[in-house]
Amino acid sequence: MEIAVCVKPVPDPDTRLRASPDQRTLDPEGVKYVLAGYDESAVEQGLLLREQIPGSAVRAFAFGPAPRAPEILRSCLALGCDSATHVAANEPVDDPLVVAAALGTVLGSRPADLILVGKQALDDEEGLVAPALGALLDRPSFSSVTDLRWSPDRARFSFRRSTEVEVERWEAPPPLVLGLQQAWNDPRTAKLPNVLKARRMPIESVPAAPGAAAGRSVPLRFDLPAPRAGARMIEYSTPAEAAERLVRILREEAKVFP
């Protein structure tokens, strides 16, 4: 089975957020871009399926500029992906539909049975790439997917999709595009020998197709909230008094409670 995993370079989750000098975006100065969040689960799930299905390959794809995109592809190789393809852009692009179009052009000529994507990126949290890829490639797409299994006898995947009110159970034959919420396991970490080996593995580079849609979604401002003052602590002498004071504040001051 051919499994494609699309990953996005995102700021390290511990990054201290700062606005760029023109106040339009996150200041990329000194930011380390990594493989993180739901994308890690997508890679993990691809590798787990490969272990289960003989003759499978997991191929990683990342869109974006160098060095950040090739760097996270190195992480994918160190984790065990069979190949890595950099869909090269000259500039960072933060419009998910442009990203989906560029990835879709490359994936369209390399049919995969399963395309895995994190259900949303850790930075912009749009969640648009998986459904957009499905629509562009004319394949069914689902997001918020957990518990993805392959049933060889029936040649179908089974999985769950979380909605706000229920967890749906689905079955579907390949090809599919899935936005993953969780793999069976916590994502593995790369072992040092594999990290060293990955440094010598080739990363294919293909230019991103010129996107007709670029410039349609333009960042204007990046605002950080005023630092929180910290909680107003409720003084009390008995638990009942603490409860009474809190409820009064929530009703009369915060007005969150009928």
Partner 1 sequence: MTPAILVIGELREDKPTDASREAAGVARRLVGDAPVMGLLIGSPVEPAAAGWCRDGVDTVRWLAEPPAGGRLAGALVPSLLALLSEGSIELVLLPSTGFGRELAGALAARWDAGAATGVTAITRTAEGWEVRRPVFGGRATETRILSGPRAVVALRPRSFPAPEPREAPAAAAVQAVVAPGPWAAGPTRIGSEPVVSGGGPALGDAPIVVAGGRGVGSSDQFRLIEELAGALDAAVGASRAVTDAGWRPASLQVGQTGRTVTPQLYIAVGISGAIQHVVGMIGSRVIVAINSDPSAPIFKVADYGIVGDLLQIVPALTAEIRRVRGR
Q: Which of residues 60-89 bind partner 1 (CB under 8 A)?
A: none
Nearer to partner 1, 204 or 244 (CB): 244
Told to check if 134 binds partner 1 by CB under 8 A, we report: yes
Among 65, 70, 92, 131, binds partner 1 (CB under 8 A): 131
Please give the structure tokens belonging to residue 118: 């994190």
Among 9, 37, 46, 118, binds partner 1 (CB under 8 A): 37
Inter-axis angle of helices 96-108 and 129-137, to 10 degrees?
40
Told to check if 222 binds partner 1 by CB under 8 A, we report: yes
- Which H or E run contains 202? none
Among 12, 51, 171, 204, binds partner 1 (CB under 8 A): 171
Nearer to partner 1, 135 or 196 (CB): 135
Q: x/- site string to partner 1, residues 92 to 121, per CB under 8 A? A: ---xxx--xx--x-----------------
Q: What gap in Å lies between CA 77 and CA 81, rounded to an integer?
A: 5
Told to check if 139 binds partner 1 by CB under 8 A, we report: yes
Told to check if 35 binds partner 1 by CB under 8 A, we report: no
Told to check if 17 binds partner 1 by CB under 8 A, we report: yes
Q: What gap in Å lies between CA 103 and CA 86, rounded to an integer?
A: 10
Nearer to partner 1, 46 or 96 (CB): 96
Q: Which stretch binds partner 1 (CB under 8 A): 62-70, 72-80, 161-169, 194-202?
A: 161-169
Q: What gap in Å lies between CA 243 and CA 29, rounded to an integer?
A: 47
Q: What gap in Å lies between CA 46 and CA 77, rounded to an integer?
A: 12
Nearer to partner 1, 192 or 218 (CB): 218
Which residue type does 192 have? L
Q: What gap in Å lies between CA 174 and CA 155, rounded to an integer?
A: 8
Told to check if 155 binds partner 1 by CB under 8 A, we report: no
Q: What gap in Å lies between CA 150 and CA 52, rounded to an integer?
A: 8
Strand-pair category, 57-64 with 10-11: unpaired
Taking the CA of residue 227 as centre, how many other CA atoms within 13 Å lie in the half-sphere pointing to its CB? Answer: 5
Among 29, 91, 153, 164, binds partner 1 (CB under 8 A): 164
User: Closest approach of Cβ 26 to partner 1, in Å?
Assistant: 7
